[in-house]
Amino acid sequence: MATGDLREIGTSAAAAAQAALGTTLGLDFIEYALTTELREAIAHQPETEAERLNNKGDQLIKDGKYAKALKALDEALARSPRYPLALVNKGIALKGMGHFDAAIESYERVL
């Protein structure tokens, strides 16, 4: 995936985020917009260790195990610090733990 592709994703997600910030579902909308676009952009690339850890974190989020998910996602980000999907999932895990400001910071790192 080219750097320009990520910038385009970030730009469209940022516009959507700005439109949603005034609503109570703003964070949910941001998560959905970012994860949907990023998953489509990387769908056909081979899985790396960072992706494997991200996928583990994603499943832990679905299981409601946010602290364990955060650990897996931090490991993914240690291997690939700008991995956008891991940053979004980290935001989701942080939000699940009630750390809303930290969740927003994680989302902003994607943009």
47-103 pLDDT, tens digit per residue, is 689 999 999 999 999 999 999 999 999 999 999 999 999 999 999 999 999 999 999
Confidence of residue 7 (pLDDT cuts 50, 70, 90): very low
Q: How far is residue 97's CA from residue 89's CA, in Å, rounded to a whole number? A: 12
> Do 24 and 100 touch, CB atoms closer than 8 A?
no
Separation of CA 82 from chain center: 10
Q: What's the pTM?
A: 0.63
> Do 10 and 37 touch, CB atoms closer than 8 A?
no
16-59 pLDDT, tens digit per residue, is 555 555 544 567 777 777 777 776 766 656 568 999 999 999 99
Q: Which amino acid is residue 63, in one-letter code?
A: D
